[in-house]
Amino acid sequence: MLIKSIGGKAQQVPELLAMCPLEIQTYFEPFAGSAALFWELKRQDLIRGSVLNDRNRLLMDVYRAAQNCPHELAKALDDMRTLRGREPFEGMRAQLNAFMAPQIPVGGRPDLSLVDRASYVLYLNRRTFNGLLDRKSTRLNSSHG
């Protein structure tokens, strides 16, 4: 699993697998979340093609970066290994929130590459309690650890 997600289906994967056909030409997942079932189907080589989607743009950025620039994403995450504490957490959260803001704040939208966005999301996800997004908005929550 690449990312933790509230309401993820990881616990139900064995039950869901039992209901799946032995081969899937194209797997469609409209609410990807952690994509637990997708990853297991892929691991077992049961799918030929796939289309993943989620309302959360930042989550989809994580999957795009993992697919299109995995080495750059791995390097960015490796560079973050030593970051600890409130300051880097709040800095990344603020940059992602400004990037996702519906109205461009004074000074403009931060210039965050796909790899920056994906690595920030993964960093924050590993250090939050009970998930990454506040379900009532698209803003990243303030819970951290």
pLDDT single digits (tens) 62-110: 999 999 999 999 999 999 999 988 899 999 999 998 888 877 666 677 7
pTM comes to: 0.78
Q: How confident is the model at residue 123 (pLDDT cuts 50, 70, 90)?
A: very high
Q: Could you tell me which residue, 139 or 2, shows the higher pLDDT?
A: 2
Q: Which of 3-12, 34-43, 48-57, 113-122 has the lowest average pLDDT?
A: 3-12
The pLDDT of residue 130: 55
Residue 126's H or E segment, with its range, is helix 114-126
Name the residue among 82, 92, 138 with its Cα closest to residue 118.
92
